[in-house]
A and B are shown apart, each in its own frame.
Chain A
């Protein structure tokens, strides 16, 4: 079964710190790696995504680092704020002209303390 392994399970960071969440995958056919943010009682929402032709992508305070040879990717949140407290899921899929099936990691519950 295709798997995406995510760590840590939970993370507490002080405001302004840089939480880092890591994911690893096995299937080298994966070519799309999104991160989703989920608040309690809400569905996951796309935060940022990367394809393996680049090693880093930055959008605002969120950065994905991608290491193709190690089959790992990570999410960094710069200048973290209490409003960033949520559960974060990494995911991976194989491009198939809109028929992508996302395989999710197990999630990281992030708490940013003031």
Chain B
């Protein structure tokens, strides 16, 4: 079974530039999550989708971050404009819609804002 795919693996941008990350979840997984993992911290949920609808985006900085999941499969996370404090690993995860299901994580995209 293929895992959660993310791209790119690494990205370096200057502050105030924009950047986009892509995620392809495990086939059949209706729930998709984007997490931000700052160095030395645990992952923090940014946004959660079920199919193509947003379940929770309460911790997404909506003035600069946006995410979409068209057709309920792939998802993109965008930052515009980026700030230095956005430097982190952005993790995508997916799971089935059932109680107690496991969330599977991708390898993440390491973003460095300079």
Give me the interface of A with B, judged by CB distance under 8 Å.
Answer: 4, 6, 32, 34, 41-46, 49, 51, 89, 91, 95, 97-107
Contact = CB atoms under 8 A, between A and B. Distances in A.
B107 A41 contact: yes
Interface string B51-68: 000011000000000000
A104 B44 contact: yes
Q: What is the interface of chain A mostly: helix, strand, loop, or mixed?
A: loop
Contacts of A89: 42-43
Nearest to B31: A98
B88 to A, nearest CB: 13
A104 B105 contact: no
12 contacts: A43-B93, A43-B106, A44-B91, A98-B95, A98-B96, A98-B99, A99-B55, A100-B95, A101-B33, A101-B45, A104-B43, A107-B40
Interface size range on B against A: 20 to 34
Given A99-B31, A102-B45, A107-B40, A43 B100 contact: no
Interface string B77-110: 0000000000000010101111111111111100
Contacts, number: 68
B44 to A, nearest CB: 7
Nearest to B96: A98
Nearest to A95: B99
Interface string B13-33: 000000000000000001101
A114 to B, nearest CB: 26
Contact of A43 (B41, B55, B91): B91
A43 B105 contact: yes
A97 B95 CA distance: 11
A107 B37 CA distance: 11
Contacts of B55: 99
B106 A98 contact: no
B21 to A, nearest CB: 13
B75 interface: no
A107 B104 CA distance: 18
B93 to A, nearest CB: 7
